[in-house]
Amino acid sequence: QARLVESGGGSVQAGGSLRLSCAASGLIYSSYCMGWFRQAPGKEREGLAAFYTGSRSPYYVASVKGRFTISHDNAKKTLYLQMNSLTPEDTAMYYCAADPDICGRRWYLGTEFGSWGQGTQVTVSS
């Protein structure tokens, strides 16, 4: 099972940017679907973006497309999420996840991912 460690969270003012990182280890398969999710207190987990390392294909939910950018450095085995134009509504714990398969049509539900990181907190103040 992959081990995932997120970093890069913090506090930022509205309109600011953050780049999250997810360092992966223990990856034994050649390709993975890797995703970013978040969960705010009292809310359900929300899928944000996914990246299939095999074809280097990104996927986004509509609500973050154009504002968030997912990328992957294969040599460093690190997944990134560049987040711009942040608002207080983006405040949440952010998690990365991995699954040794192509990204399914409903990747954003998170149910296909077997490995999860511990999360990194993002707080956006107005």
pLDDT at 118 over 90: yes
Q: Return d(Cα 13, Cα 36) in angstroms, integer.
A: 21
Local confidence band at 121 (pLDDT 50, 70, 90 cut-offs): very high
Q: Return d(Cα 11, Cα 81) in angstroms, integer.
A: 16
pLDDT at 14 over 90: yes
The pLDDT > 70 percentage for the chain reads: 100
Residue 1: what pLDDT?
79
Q: For the residues 63-77, what does the mean pLDDT come to? A: 96
Local confidence band at 65 (pLDDT 50, 70, 90 cut-offs): very high
Nearest in space to 87 (alpha carbons), one of 123, 57, 46: 123
